A and B are shown apart, each in its own frame.
Chain A
Amino acid sequence: GAVVSQHPSRVICKSGTSVKIECRSLDFQATTMFWYRQFPKQSLMLMATSNEGSKATYEQGVEKDKFLINHASLTLSTLTVTSAHPEDSSFYICSAISREGAPLHFGNGTRLTVT
C-alpha cells in the first residue's frame, strides 16, 4: 500500500531556532500534500495545502512566514517552523494524495517540543 514517510518523528529545539520536517511519498507520486497540526485530545487542524511546483495555500490564521512549506517534487514536501516558540510545540502530521478520490495517506507525525 501507499507509504508516506515523515522525518523526524520527534524533535526538541530551543526557542528562536528553526526546524525542518520532511514528508516523502515512498511508492507513489503525490499530486497534493497537506500539513496538519494536532493539539492534545483534539482533531487535526489543516494548516496548508501544497501542490508540486506551486506555492502552498495556507488556511486562515496560519502564518505563512512562520510555517514555510516547500513542495519541490512529486515525492517530497517540507515544513519549516521558523523562529520557533514554545507555543509552536505540537504534533505535526503530513499527508499525501495521489489522485482525486483517493484516500489520504499519512506520515507518522512529528512531535515538536520548543524549550
Chain B
Amino acid sequence: AQSVAQPEDQVNVAEGNPLTVKCTYSVSGNPYLFWYVQYPNRGLQFLLKYITGDNLVKGSYGFEAEFNKSQTSFHLKKPSALVSDSALYFCAVRAYSSASKIIFGSGTRLSIRP
C-alpha cells in the first residue's frame, strides 16, 4: 500500500534562512513524487515533481526537492525563505501503475517570520 508521511505539523523559519519540509514515502515499485502548496481557502498549486532522472528537482518560486531512494525521502527545500512562502505544503506520491491513486501527506504548515 502507498503512504506518505510528513512528520512535522509546523515548521517555523526566519526570513532569509534556508527551509526544509520533510517527506517520506512508501510505495511498491518506482514512485511519482509531488509537492503542492495551499493558500487559505484555495485549491492546491503544483510546485514540482519527480518521475525519473536527476535526484534534485527544481520547481516554482525557488523551491527544490531531493529524491533519496535509499531513505525513501523527498524533502522540500529553499535556500532563502520569504514571508510570502508561509502556507500549507503537501507531499504526494503515486506508484507507476496507472490504476494507483495519488496519496497526500497530512500537510506541513510553514510559517516564515520577518
Contacts and interface: CB of A to CB of B under 8 A. Distances in A.
Interface stretch (A12-20, A69-77, A79-87, A102-110): A102-110
Interface in B83-106: 90, 92, 98, 101-102, 104-106
A93 B43 contact: yes
A39 to B, nearest CB: 11
Contact of A101 (B41, B51, B92): B51
Contacts, number: 47
B74 interface: no
**What are the 5 closest A-B residue pairs judged by CB atoms, nearest first?**
A106-B43, A106-B44, A108-B43, A103-B46, A43-B106
The secondary structure that dominates the A interface is strand
Interface string B42-67: 11111001010000000000000000
Contact residue range for chain B? 20 to 34
A113 B42 CA distance: 16
B43 A101 contact: no
